[in-house]
Amino acid sequence: MTKTLIVTGAGGVGKTTLSAGLGVSLARSGHTTLVLTIDPARRLADTLGVAALDDIPRQVANEPHLHAAMLDVSASWEAIIHRYADPDVADRLLVNPYFRAMADRFPAAQSYAAAERMAEYIESGHYDVLIVDTPPSEGGIDFFLAPAKTGDLISGKLLRWLTGSSLPGRSILYRFTARPMLRLADTVLGGAMLSDVADFLLDLRTMYDQLSVRSKAIERHLRAAETVIATTADPTPIHETRRFFDELAGIKIAPTAILFNQMLPQSWIASDLTAGRLEIDDKDLAVVATRNLSLWASEARRHSVAARELSARYGLPVHELTWQVPPPTTLDDLADLVADVTVLAD
């Protein structure tokens, strides 16, 4: 059985770095681990060996139990289409501009691709542990809602409206042009936009039965996974964290921990308050160095307040992770960053 950990949170808080760190540390305790990354910074990608242009998991150099893969949204959707659509429909869809636009831009499409990949890796049975770094969202929990949203798009709700039929088939398009109101709408909107959309949706619709079964399976994997939320003390990620908790509660997913990244040492706060004069010969240096501690201590205080507030509000452990400059990229530094974090414990 693969145990899955989903690392979610606002953009820019270090989700990918934390996912990699947790991967290294779980691999080092003997679990065959796969980290599915979304868009790692260059040096982290180099360390994980995911700089290649495909999304095939590879063993990470010098880390025998650790494997890494990078999400390729287009490739994932092509694989989905080939798997679930008839060959002639697949050929049509893959060159359809509406399909390309959906795969490239529909926010749920990127999340769906990630969730589908996650499910494949779980079902492969190759890994003891799978760590999923989640795609950036337009705010909120896109990743968790993607199966349902994608299902809506494909379910034919829109299509039924367009064709006025409960069971649309290709012959319905003929009747489409016979509906004067839609013809007028097309004239106002331009060209044959609506009928092109209907055409595209008809093709998608042929995959509906299989994709909806698939979406249900993916949702089960999402529910069975452990979810942690990463944040920093900045107002935007804190706000997003609250939103994540609210929205996840709505779909009955309870995060198990908060990873609070980029914390400063709490010892700086006490030291700033008690610091007397710094007795060194270079008086100018004494002044600027003391003021520097004061400034960073005010940051440390802000971090500490934010972390305590979150912990109290949600009654969850907050793992405080030290702010490393530059961010860790070697395997050892990645493992060090999350050394005190316990996840996926039974």
Beta carbon nearer to another protein, 254 or 289:
289
Directed axis angle between helix 142-154 and helix 107-124, to 10°?
100
- Single out the residue of 5, 6, 13, 229 in contact with another protein (rule: CB under 8 A): 13
Q: How many residues bind another protein (CB under 8 A)?
A: 74
Q: What residues are paired with 6 via a beta bridge?
A: 132, 227
Show contacts with another protein in window 52-81 (CB under 8 A). Answer: none
Beta strands in 175-296 (DSSP E): 226-231, 257-263
Show contacts with another protein in window 28-47 (CB under 8 A). Answer: 41-43
d(CA 90, CA 84): 8
Burial level of 78, CB count in 10 A (0-12/13-18/19+)?
Answer: middle
The two structure tokens encoding residue 47: 């360390």
Q: Indicate whether 234 belongs to the interface with another protein (CB under 8 A).
A: yes
Q: What residues are paired with 7 via a beta bridge?
A: 133, 228
The two structure tokens encoding residue 307: 């972390």
Beta carbon nearer to another protein, 138 or 346:
138
CB of 216 to another protein, least distance (A): 22
- Single out the residue of 323, 331, 335, 343 in contact with another protein (rule: CB under 8 A): 323
CB of 31 to another protein, least distance (A): 29
CB of 126 to another protein, least distance (A): 30
Closest listed residue to residue 103, CA positions, set 37, 52, 41, 154: 154
Q: Indicate whether 250 belongs to the interface with another protein (CB under 8 A).
A: no
Show contacts with another protein in window 273-312 (CB under 8 A). Answer: 275, 278, 280-282, 285, 288-293, 295-299, 301-302, 305
Show contacts with another protein in window 198-217 (CB under 8 A). Answer: 200-201
Of the candidate spans 197-205, 249-257, 308-316, 334-342, the one that interacts with another protein by CB under 8 A turns out to be 197-205
- Single out the residue of 272, 309, 333, 336 in contact with another protein (rule: CB under 8 A): 272
Beta carbon nearer to another protein, 254 or 305:
305
- Single out the residue of 271, 309, 316, 341 in contact with another protein (rule: CB under 8 A): 271
Are the beta carbons of 4 and 19 closer than 8 angstroms?
no
Of the candidate spans 81-89, 127-135, 221-229, 272-280, the one that interacts with another protein by CB under 8 A turns out to be 272-280
Show contacts with another protein in window 131-150 (CB under 8 A). Answer: 136, 138-140
Q: How many CA atoms lie within 13 A of 12 on its CB side?
A: 8
Cβ count within 10 A of residue 216: 12
Q: Indicate whether 251 belongs to the interface with another protein (CB under 8 A).
A: no
- First and final C-alpha spacing in the chain: 13
Beta carbon nearer to another protein, 140 or 317:
140
**Cα torsion through 207, 213, 217, 219, rounded to 10:** 80
3-state helix, strand, coil in the chain (%, to 5): 55, 10, 30
Helices (H) and strands (E) in the chain — how many of each? 16, 8
Q: How big is the chain, counted in residues?
A: 346
Q: Indicate whether 229 belongs to the interface with another protein (CB under 8 A).
A: no
Beta carbon nearer to another protein, 1 or 325:
325
Q: Indicate whether 189 belongs to the interface with another protein (CB under 8 A).
A: yes
- Single out the residue of 7, 27, 141, 153 in contact with another protein (rule: CB under 8 A): 153
d(CA 259, CA 220): 24
